[in-house]
Amino acid sequence: MADIDVLLNENRSFPPPEPFARAAQVSTDAIYAMAQKDPDAYWAGAARNLEWIAPWKSVLDWTPPHAKWFTGGKINAAVNCVDRHVRGPARNKAAIIWEGEPGDRRTLTYWDLYREVCKFANVLRSLGVGKGDRVGIYLPMVPEAVVAMLACARIGAIHSVVFGGFSPESVRDRMNDAQAKVLITADGGYRRGQVVPLKRNADKALAEAPSVKHVIVVQRRPGGGGDEAFAEMREGRDHWYHRLMQNASPDAPPEPMDSEDVLFILYTSGTTGKPKGIVHTTGGYLTGTAETTRLVFDLRDDDVFWCTADVGWVTGHSYLVYGPLANGATCVMYEGAPDWPERDRFWDICERHGVTILYTAPTAIRAFMKWGESHPAKHDLSRLRLLGSVGEPINPEAWIWYHENIGGKRCPIVDTWWQTETGAIVISPLPGVTVTKPGSATRPLPGCSADLLDSAGNRVETGGGLLALTRPLPAMLRTIWGDDERYVKTYFSKWDGRKNLYFPGDGAKRDKDGYFWILGRVDDVLNVAGHRIGTMEVESALVEHPSVAEAAVVGKAHELKGQALAAFVTVRDGTRPTSELRDELKQFVVDKIGAIARPDDILFAADLPKTRSGKIMRRLLRDIAEGRALGDTTTLADPSVVAALKEQYEEKEG
């Protein structure tokens, strides 16, 4: 039996648009063959684009399942992201064009960023932070978040950014696991016109995180000295960021780091259990992120690059901070929500700042579809030349909508597959070369090797299977913080004894052209009457219906079939969810995929339960569909959503 059955076939394809291909940095596929012949030489070439303090002795030391890159080499990430550029013509180039949700704006040139990073490096040193110490960062999307990350990198401290939407408990657990010495937070951040009380959350968290001795508070809210009631400053422990910076020297020699010294820890929740501290090191991570930023986004000197991800996620680390800044790019950074004050905020930002490259997530694209094309249509988006997608499979319908309504049919789309663990993009088109197919991340990038296997470890030529990475990559995680055993068990134990095979946890199909189509987490695969159905394809079929905005499909126990499908559907604005529509949708799926995928239940929902990074929490939907008590809901963006759904589902059943 196949590990996952392939249900949908998408036949549209899009060659790189002629004008784009002609001007692209990479416009032939020779680079693939070159990299495949000698991947180490390829990555060494990429690493040579960085500035090293001392050269490496060997490119790759691989003792499966552990790998080290550029050992013996010395390097500093902040120097590569800032100092290099201020020595040349990019000195006065915008590094960060920032916009707060209320509309305030700041632009930091590379020179500004250099000064801020050096000063804050000295602030951290003055509080006793040194090489190898852990520093927590719990900030809104403000430039100080980037400054704090790079200042840590400058002095060799290990940063651990906690997404500003997380709860005090999440902050507490992460600080304790990392044994952080210092936490950097703010008196608040803006989201949908509300203030997120970060300092108050931090205070709650720190009541049970005794390793943190100092708290540095960025003043985000107006009030000259701050709204002390909101962010009560504790004597001896808490310090205002701006006060510390006043007297800090801008002269901060960088710490020469071993290539394999830890750059940061980033916690990822995984499906169950306690969050894993994903460990990334310096030389390889920077090589992987810098190289993929340059190639995948065809980065040019005059680009205005907007990665919409929060710095609390790996996408923000790799493609808002380290990758673009290592390339000397201009980045847009936006603090708030896409629908504040209106649903055209993103397009307003693109127009006003002349964004040329936009990198966002399918969940956002589906929200834009739901809101309708009138919002982007109000703005001049003609400077956009490349679009990117990341975070989950993009269903072909959303891909086409993005292509037409945002990209004006002239921008290639790079659908980039990767993970917190891989640190950098692994499977993606090269926009000047690859013929794209809506819904496919296409092929592994130069220097990357992926394969499709069945659970016994046999190669699946075409059809469905399990994704495997067959060679280490420079930006891959090195271990899980404090738990190497869990690292081995989670990622290298899928295929017995073959410790050279990394299992990302995703199902995929490979088509006759060798393209990969990611079908989602294998934990989400259903077994309906012996057919292994990935939820993504059924969801994708549902979303093709003009009335549907978003869909989540889960399995529920079924006497005869083993499992049956339950679909949770949100409709587009202006559509009425009726029982006729419900029947129509069931038939629609049958027509698209076949009777095997016919949902037993369709529940119309106002909203789907999602994590703050936009991933649908199918686990909770399964609890609802099977009438169980809800499991852990702490990582939900909006806990009221599931409660409402559960009530509605039970009413219908009753």
389 contact partners, CB below 8 Å, separation of at least 6: 359, 360, 361, 362, 365, 399, 402, 413, 414, 415, 416
The token pair at 43 is 């990555």
Whether residue 135 contacts residue 181, with contact meaning beta carbons closer than 8 Å, is answered with yes
Shortest separation between residue 268's beta carbon and ligand WT7, angstroms: 5
Q: Which of residues 350-369 bind ligand WT7 (CB under 6 A)?
A: none
Shortest separation between residue 622's beta carbon and ligand WT7, angstroms: 17
Give the E-state strand segments of 46-113 in sequence order. 58-63, 66-71, 74-75, 94-99, 105-109
131 contact partners, CB below 8 Å, separation of at least 6: 155, 156, 157, 255, 257, 261
Shortest separation between residue 414's beta carbon and ligand WT7, angstroms: 9
- Applying CB under 6 A, the span of 182-190, 389-397, 576-584, 601-609 interacting with ligand WT7 comes to 389-397
Give the E-state strand segments of 470-547 in sequence order. 479-480, 506-510, 516-521, 526-528, 531-533
Q: Which is nearer to ligand WT7, 100 or 520 (CB)?
A: 520
Which 3-state string (H, E, C) describes 443-484? CECCCCCEEEECCCCCECCCEEEEEEECCCCCCCCCEECCCH
| Contact flag: residue 393 with ligand WT7 (CB under 6 A) | yes
Q: Which is nearer to ligand WT7, 460 or 581 (CB)?
A: 460
Sequential DSSP letters for 133-163: -EEEEE--SSHHHHHHHHHHHHHTPEEEE--
Whether residue 119 contacts residue 245, with contact meaning beta carbons closer than 8 Å, is answered with yes
Q: Which is nearer to ligand WT7, 199 or 521 (CB)?
A: 521
Shortest separation between residue 20's beta carbon and ligand WT7, angstroms: 20
| Contact flag: residue 319 with ligand WT7 (CB under 6 A) | no
Q: Which of residues 186-245 bind ligand WT7 (CB under 6 A)?
A: none
Instruction: Say how far apart CA 69 and CA 74 lie, in whole Å.
Output: 11
Instruction: Say how far apart CA 516 and CA 302 lie, in whole Å.
Output: 32
Q: Which of residues 519-558 bind ligand WT7 (CB under 6 A)?
A: 520-521
- Amino acid type, 564: A
Q: Which of residues 140-169 bind ligand WT7 (CB under 6 A)?
A: none
> Considering all CA atoms of the chain, what is the largest pairwise distance in Å, rounded to the nearest integer?
73
Shortest separation between residue 507's beta carbon and ligand WT7, angstroms: 9
The token pair at 181 is 């010495």
Q: Which residues pair with 528 in a beta bridge?
A: 531, 562
Shortest separation between residue 195's beta carbon and ligand WT7, angstroms: 27
Q: Which is nearer to ligand WT7, 303 or 392 (CB)?
A: 392
List the one residue from 86, 320, 321, 390 that touches ligand WT7 (CB under 6 A): 390
Q: Which is nearer to ligand WT7, 308 or 315 (CB)?
A: 315
Q: Which is nearer to ligand WT7, 310 or 351 (CB)?
A: 310
Q: Which is nearer to ligand WT7, 275 or 463 (CB)?
A: 275
List the one residue from 133, 506, 524, 539 that touches ligand WT7 (CB under 6 A): 506
Instruction: Say how far apart CA 387 and CA 298 lie, in whole Å.
Output: 11
Task: Report phi then psi at 533, rounded to 5.
Answer: -110, 125
Shortest separation between residue 627's beta carbon and ligand WT7, angstroms: 27
Q: Which is nearer to ligand WT7, 618 or 646 (CB)?
A: 618
Q: Which residues pair with 279 in a beta bridge?
A: 265, 479
Shortest separation between residue 286's beta carbon and ligand WT7, angstroms: 17
| Contact flag: residue 635 with ligand WT7 (CB under 6 A) | no
Q: Which residues pair with 196 in a beta bridge?
A: 189
| Contact flag: residue 315 with ligand WT7 (CB under 6 A) | yes
Q: Which is nearer to ligand WT7, 259 or 308 (CB)?
A: 308
Q: Which is nearer to ligand WT7, 209 or 522 (CB)?
A: 522
Tokens 């790019």 map to which residue?
A: 329
- Applying CB under 6 A, the span of 79-87, 404-412, 416-424, 544-552 interacting with ligand WT7 comes to 416-424
The token pair at 564 is 């049956």
List the one residue from 189, 474, 504, 577 that touches ligand WT7 (CB under 6 A): 504
Q: Which of residues 424-443 bind ligand WT7 (CB under 6 A)?
A: 441
Whether residue 613 contacts residue 391, with contact meaning beta carbons closer than 8 Å, is answered with yes
- Applying CB under 6 A, the span of 162-170, 414-422, 473-481, 546-554 interacting with ligand WT7 comes to 414-422
| Contact flag: residue 418 with ligand WT7 (CB under 6 A) | yes
Whether residue 376 contacts residue 344, with contact meaning beta carbons closer than 8 Å, is answered with yes
List the one residue from 147, 198, 518, 542 that touches ligand WT7 (CB under 6 A): 518
Q: Which of residues 441-500 bind ligand WT7 (CB under 6 A)?
A: 441
> How many CA atoms lie less than 13 Å away from 90 in the CB half-sphere?
24
Shortest separation between residue 343's beta carbon and ligand WT7, angstroms: 24
Q: Which of residues 255-314 bind ligand WT7 (CB under 6 A)?
A: 268, 313-314
- Applying CB under 6 A, the span of 385-393, 401-409, 632-640, 641-649 interacting with ligand WT7 comes to 385-393
List the one residue from 69, 190, 305, 417 that touches ligand WT7 (CB under 6 A): 417
Task: Report phi then psi at 102, rounded to 5.
Answer: -65, -10
Q: Which is nearer to ligand WT7, 39 or 504 (CB)?
A: 504
| Contact flag: residue 74 with ligand WT7 (CB under 6 A) | no
| Contact flag: residue 563 with ligand WT7 (CB under 6 A) | no
Contacts 24+ apart (CB under 8 A), 521-526: 521/271, 522/3, 522/4, 522/466, 523/271, 524/554, 524/618, 525/3, 525/4, 526/553, 526/554, 526/555, 526/563, 526/565
| Contact flag: residue 602 with ligand WT7 (CB under 6 A) | no
- Applying CB under 6 A, the span of 65-73, 258-266, 518-526, 587-595 interacting with ligand WT7 comes to 518-526
Whether residue 620 contacts residue 609, with contact meaning beta carbons closer than 8 Å, is answered with yes
Instruction: Say how far apart CA 541 and CA 98 lie, in whole Å.
Output: 38
Determine if the peptide bond prior to 65 is cis (ω within 30°): yes
Q: Which is nearer to ligand WT7, 254 or 534 (CB)?
A: 534
Q: Which is nearer to ligand WT7, 3 or 392 (CB)?
A: 392
Strand 214-218 versus strand 182-186 pairing type: parallel
Shortest separation between residue 14's beta carbon and ligand WT7, angstroms: 16
| Contact flag: residue 415 with ligand WT7 (CB under 6 A) | yes
205: exposed, middle or buried (Cβ count in 10 Å: 0-12, 13-18, 19+): buried
Binding residues for ligand WT7, rule CB under 6 A, total: 22
Determine if the peptide bond prior to 143 is cis (ω within 30°): no
Shortest separation between residue 475's beta carbon and ligand WT7, angstroms: 12
Shortest separation between residue 518's beta carbon and ligand WT7, angstroms: 4
Q: Which is nearer to ligand WT7, 254 or 472 (CB)?
A: 472
Q: Which is nearer to ligand WT7, 24 or 518 (CB)?
A: 518
Site of interaction with ligand WT7 (CB under 6 A): 268, 313-315, 390-393, 415-420, 441, 504-506, 518, 520-521, 613
